[in-house]
Structure 1
Amino acid sequence: MDRNTFTGLFLIMIILAGGVFFMKPSEAEINKERAKQTADSLKRIGVKPASQSIATTNNTTKAVDTALLKGPFGSNMNGSEQTTILENANLKITLSNLGGKVLSVEVKNEQTYGKQPVILFNGNENKFGLNLNVDGKPLQTNNLYFTATKNGNGVTMRANYNADKYVDFIYHLPADGYQLDFNVSLNGLNQIIQGNQISLNWETTLLQQEKDAKKEQEHSGPYFKYVAQNPDHLNLHKDEKKEINEGKIEWFSFKQHFFSAVLIPTVPFEKGDLEVKVSTEPGKIKWYGANMQLPFNQLSAQNYAFKFYFGTNKFTTLKAQGHELEKQVDLGYWPLKYINRFIVLPVFNLLESFNWGYGLIILVLTILLKLAMSPLTYKSYISMAKMRILKPEMDEIKAKVGEDNPTLLQQEYLKLYKQVGVNPLGGCLPMLLQLPFVMAFFFFFPNLFELRGESFLWMKDLSTYDDFIKFGFTIPFIGDHLSLMCILMTISTLIYTYFNNQISGATGQMKYIGYIMPIIFLGVLNSYPSGLNYYYFLANMLTFLQQFLIRKMVNDDKIHAILQDNKTKPKTEKKKSKFQARLDEYMRNQQQTQAHQKKGK
């Protein structure tokens, strides 16, 4: 990289940073957009703005058009809302007779970052039921008042068309686990329900559980799985609505960062659509909507069986549910997800079985990785040491050939490498082989449920950032805080870069470009989990220690003697690779072009 290229890249960085700062919307524009989205959200879920709303309680009977009382399910059009609770060791399910639906879900033994119970969703923004065409009129069971009958740890919700024609929603919560059995029974409604399909509708807003709402939104979205295919998801960063009609649907989920609400039908859905909208209201993450088609065969007794999963996104817990739910956990793209799933995660689970603290587990995991990679680290060091030792000879060649003929200069360098038996890429290749493991952890730690709520040293929660310094205002590129572990990681990277330059003998622009990336990563990783920054800090320190020990063991004079001895050894001509042949041909053409240009002058 020459000076002009370096200067150009640096200017591009300044322009991008300036563009983000100066082109961001004003506070008034942000507030206006938030107000508009809030109004749209309220309109979507059927709630009037505060200035027009009428306060009601669960015991208040809502007014209903008398014509509706005489229509289909008229006796269920009026009533008062009552709740029934099902509870086991893991879940507390609150059911409402209004719609016969799950009104709220509390995941036991878990807390939000603010030390409150984890409630996935709650209140009127949760809508669930069947959309039916009854006697030629549309009907939503979400608006009906069901009659609840509790039997042990099960509840039957019934809405009557008449004495022998009714809809049953049947719930049963096992003694433990995260699954809720759900069955729909349509009795005697053949010829009353028109068409050969009905629609199941579920809409809800999932509530904030984590410290950083922005990061929680980035890891939250609707997921779905076609039969015999891998799970897929909608856009995680913006609003989207998608038709799902490329196959039968095995399940769909409303996923948050560390928790999920999943609906699994016994018989896959025929088709449907999913929708997501990013919430701008405090305490809320995203609004989700789903409409799934179910076959209606005009039977006198039509039944549909489902299972809900309400629980954590811990990889092993999701895997135990079956249906490949664990693939909702983002372990990275290929090949990173395979490294995380089949190497890193099993080792992590093994270390976790010793009941160590997670700070110690991350330390031991980093040491094991560095030990496994130590042969590559050693090879990379030796290669860079050879290049450093050859630098005086390369400087002599440069002074002799001159900088105005780069093609000839590269040819002379290649001759020298060939004479002494040095591969100029020998230091890069071992580092590139280690890079996938370094990048794999970038996905592993931010999505690791086990770190949630776990503290170490001053870090109260390893799954989110440690705001050691709070500004009280937002600084472009940095945010509203400084993470102490991120600062330590940055300092360690700068120290590592300094000593790496000493080993490689880097000079000029290349000597300083390595210091730019740590500063960039300071802004990028400042809001990432402290557990991730802790790992990178440990990795830097252990790499520095490795190189220090290797440097003590390696004798530069001995390496120099070996290189000089290689010059005197007879060289056996090896068959050139296609790449080498093309490279030689390219350099010959470049040299001829430069020679013609000089003659023309």
Structure 2
Amino acid sequence: MQQNNGLDKNQLISFALFSLILIGVMFYFQNKQAKEQELKQAENKTQVVNKTANNAAKPALVTNLNDSVNTTSIQQIELKNKELTLGISTLGGQLSTVELNEFKAYNKVSDVNDKKLLLFDKNNSSYGFQFKDKTGKTFNTKDLVFSPTQNGNSVTMQANVNGAVIQFIYTLLDKYTVDFNVKTQGLAQLVSDSKAEFVWDFTARQQEKGRSQEQTHTEFNYAFDNYSSFDYDGRTTMEEPKETLNWLAIKQQFFSMVIEPQSGFKNSHGNQDMIEEGEFLKKFNYNGQIDLVNNELNQDFKWYFMPLDLPLLKSYDKNFDELLPLGWSFIGTLNRWFFIPMFNLISSWGIAAGWVIFLMTIIVKIILSPVMFKQHKLSAMMRVIRPEIDEVNAKYKNADAMKKQQETMAVYRKAGVNQMAGCLPGLLQVPIFYALFRFFPNMIDLRGKSFWFAKDLTAYDDVIKLPFHIPFLQDHLSIFAIACTIVILIYTVMTAGNIQQPTQEGMPNMKVIMYIFPITFLFFLNTSASGLSWYYFVSNAINILIILVIKYWILDEKKIHAQIQANKQKEPKKEGKFQKRMREMMEKAQEQQKAQQQQTPKKK
């Protein structure tokens, strides 16, 4: 019998020692990072005290907004509640500052989320209604200067245009909502068109640590068909000339800005451009039409500036939960009805987020244990039967590939080995992998949650910083990603012995491909959410333990070999439908090949 290619007991001890060393390294970096964090926090406290002293004399409600405008009447009116702080500019009568009070943005200096989370600020957003007058010229409300009248958490902005009156009435509500009512009087005397253009220019500011990851999740989202249909666009121009949009959103990784018109936007067009570096991620431009009634614009709008929290999004009953990119079809269902409830349940026990992920991994492994056991048992049987397979390859070395494959399948069939049984666990892992790929970077409950040296489980850890930039890896190495890559390599070494090598020239070496895969996985994980890397580290470490337990305590390869030899003496098991179909296809292909060879005239 061929020697087993798995790990022996000495290698088992080596794996245990390696695990202890790896954990020790993790704790070392954790303590090192904690000390650095204490120093940074002390520096930040000093800076905050100085800033507070410098800002103490600034007015609270009304301030000059833009000194470049040649007027002293430009002001900013503040509205504030528990959730939002708004600044409304008299220039254009538009929201110029929007802060989410209960959240913080990522700060590159301190490497944690401690900056104000400002969705609108520093003129990164500009919107208004554009009209065409009777001379064919256009004017936009964002160029007008409005006069404010504040009443509690409501403010009325009014502007006069050649005898017409335009009013914007903002009212700050709960649940991250701002009522935005537009009223005009006398506009019919100025305009000749029966529609207005809503124009919104927006530049998305980076709020999270992982720039490339957040940039990927920053995109147009919109609903139509009376809120029942949803679509998004993250790369190209957005063109919806026929649909009436119930709402339009510019979504980032964890937060979204949504505007909802009472009668919908028609003939919508938008575009977006990547910004390669700096404070901002993407530049957006949107244009949609609003119908005028008797050439007057009297319509209610709503702005929403909200975190992408699934229960909150569902509570609006406007299909906002589609803003959370949990995956399509079965993938989204798996996240909504399995992973999110499981995460919420375990989190309710009050344990750290990293250990929540650890327990989630254990639960998934327990659920998959029956099929995983079958897979590893099949692997053991494949190792035992390898000498017979090698014998077939040697015997039919000069035969055609079809004949060799038939004889190989005959050996498996006589031994009672079903090769297709090993495919099931792999197929089950695919939707789970993609669901978690969507889960970890978009779960707001994980945002800012630290574990060991990872300060945010929704972003990469970068304790190991590089003095140069490497394509795809960038300027850091993630310890979680490296640890995950190592355990995948160990798992590959343990299972690669079961891979049959190609016997024909030109066929790829599957073992080489299997070893390359973990290395390429490092490039993917290095800039991904550290929670995902941690999950796959634990998952593959458990796979290794399962193989060792099955090999040394559950399966006896001598008994398996005896069972296979006994199976050979019995009548072969009845073929399954799939096996029968494969055999018939091979036989038919072989007959066709022989017929073609007979019809081909021999060269003289």
The TM-score normalised by the length of structure 2 is: 0.81
Per the TM alignment, residue 271 of structure 1 is displaced from its structure 2 partner at its CA by 2.5
TM alignment of 1:418-567, pairs within 5 A: 418-502=413-497, 504=498, 509-551=509-551, 552-567=553-568
User: Aligned partners of 1:437, 1:255: CA distance in 2, in Å?
Assistant: 25
> Partner of 1:100: helix, strand, or coil?
coil
Equivalent AA in structure 2 for residue 241 of structure 1: T
1:341 maps to 336
Question: Measured at CA, do residues 255 and 562 of structure 1 come closer, stay the same or move farther in structure 2, by a change above 3 Å?
Answer: same
Per the TM alignment, residue 594 of structure 1 is displaced from its structure 2 partner at its CA by 7.2
Per the TM alignment, residue 501 of structure 1 is displaced from its structure 2 partner at its CA by 2.6
2:157 and 2:167 in contact (8 A); partners too: yes
Point out where structure 1 has 5 or more consecutive residues left out of the alignment: 1-55, 64-77
- 215, 220, 223: which is aligned to 1:222? 220
1:403 and 1:409 in contact (8 A); partners too: no
Per the TM alignment, residue 530 of structure 1 is displaced from its structure 2 partner at its CA by 1.0
Point out where structure 2 has 5 or more consecutive residues left out of the alignment: 1-62, 108-113, 503-508
1:124 maps to 123
Equivalent AA in structure 2 for residue 157 of structure 1: M
Equivalent AA in structure 2 for residue 262 of structure 1: V
2:157 and 2:169 in contact (8 A); partners too: yes
2:41 maps to none
Note if 1:113 corresponds to 2:106: yes
Equivalent AA in structure 2 for residue 527 of structure 1: T
2:64 and 2:72 in contact (8 A); partners too: no
1:234 and 1:276 in contact (8 A); partners too: no
Equivalent AA in structure 1 for residue 256 of structure 2: S
1:398 maps to 393
Per the TM alignment, residue 181 of structure 1 is displaced from its structure 2 partner at its CA by 1.1
- Residue-pair matches, total: 525
Equivalent AA in structure 2 for residue 563 of structure 1: I
More displaced 10-residue stretch of structure 1: 305-314 or 490-499: 305-314
1:146 and 1:158 in contact (8 A); partners too: yes
2:290 maps to 294
Per the TM alignment, residue 192 of structure 1 is displaced from its structure 2 partner at its CA by 3.1
1:29 maps to none
Q: Percent identity?
A: 35
User: Aligned partners of 1:341, 1:584: CA distance in 2, in Å?
Assistant: 47
Note if 1:184 corresponds to 2:182: yes
User: Aligned partners of 1:271, 1:391: CA distance in 2, in Å?
Assistant: 65
Equivalent AA in structure 2 for residue 232 of structure 1: D
Per the TM alignment, residue 402 of structure 1 is displaced from its structure 2 partner at its CA by 2.2
1:264 maps to 260
1:408 and 1:591 in contact (8 A); partners too: no
1:388 maps to 383
User: Aligned partners of 1:395, 1:280: CA distance in 2, in Å?
Assistant: 54
1:412 maps to 407
User: Aligned partners of 1:284, 1:332: CA distance in 2, in Å?
Assistant: 26
TM alignment of 1:344-363, pairs within 5 A: 344-363=339-358
User: Aligned partners of 2:545, 2:87: CA distance in 1, in Å?
Assistant: 56
1:304 maps to 299
More displaced 10-residue stretch of structure 1: 415-424 or 453-462: 415-424
1:98 maps to 91
Note if 1:154 corresponds to 2:154: yes
User: Aligned partners of 2:588, 2:397: CA distance in 1, in Å?
Assistant: 22
User: Aligned partners of 1:410, 1:233: CA distance in 2, in Å?
Assistant: 47
1:272 and 1:293 in contact (8 A); partners too: yes
Equivalent AA in structure 2 for residue 184 of structure 1: V
User: Aligned partners of 2:73, 2:121: CA distance in 1, in Å?
Assistant: 18
Per the TM alignment, residue 383 of structure 1 is displaced from its structure 2 partner at its CA by 1.6
User: Aligned partners of 1:191, 1:128: CA distance in 2, in Å?
Assistant: 24
1:202-231 Cα offsets, whole Å, 9 max, x none, are 112121111232322121112122225532
- 83, 97, 105: which is aligned to 2:76? 83
Question: Measured at CA, do residues 413 and 62 of structure 1 come closer, stay the same or move farther in structure 2, by a change above 3 Å?
Answer: closer
Per the TM alignment, residue 495 of structure 1 is displaced from its structure 2 partner at its CA by 0.8
> Partner of 1:331: helix, strand, or coil?
coil
User: Aligned partners of 2:596, 2:450: CA distance in 1, in Å?
Assistant: 64
2:221 and 2:233 in contact (8 A); partners too: yes
1:43 maps to none
User: Aligned partners of 2:576, 2:495: CA distance in 1, in Å?
Assistant: 34
Equivalent AA in structure 1 for residue 127 of structure 2: F
2:272 maps to 276
1:332-371 Cα offsets, whole Å, 9 max, x none, are 3443223222322222222223332110110111111111
User: Aligned partners of 2:473, 2:67: CA distance in 1, in Å?
Assistant: 50
Question: Measured at CA, do residues 124 and 458 of structure 1 come closer, stay the same or move farther in structure 2, by a change above 3 Å?
Answer: closer
1:569 maps to 570
2:416 and 2:573 in contact (8 A); partners too: no
2:145 maps to 145
Equivalent AA in structure 1 for residue 588 of structure 2: E
Per the TM alignment, residue 281 of structure 1 is displaced from its structure 2 partner at its CA by 5.3
Equivalent AA in structure 1 for residue 145 of structure 2: Y
Per the TM alignment, residue 450 of structure 1 is displaced from its structure 2 partner at its CA by 1.9
1:222 and 1:254 in contact (8 A); partners too: yes
Equivalent AA in structure 2 for residue 170 of structure 1: I
Question: Measured at CA, do residues 426 and 403 of structure 1 come closer, stay the same or move farther in structure 2, by a change above 3 Å?
Answer: farther
1:411 and 1:587 in contact (8 A); partners too: no
The structure whose RCO (Cα within 8 Å, separation 6+) is larger is 2
2:343 and 2:360 in contact (8 A); partners too: yes
1:113-145 Cα offsets, whole Å, 9 max, x none, are 212111012133421111112453422111111
Question: Measured at CA, do residues 597 and 157 of structure 1 come closer, stay the same or move farther in structure 2, by a change above 3 Å?
Answer: same
Per the TM alignment, residue 507 of structure 1 is displaced from its structure 2 partner at its CA by 5.5
1:158-203 Cα offsets, whole Å, 9 max, x none, are 113477x4111111112x3211111111124334332211111211
Question: Measured at CA, do residues 574 and 507 of structure 1 come closer, stay the same or move farther in structure 2, by a change above 3 Å?
Answer: closer
The TM-score normalised by the length of structure 1 is: 0.81
> Partner of 2:263: helix, strand, or coil?
coil
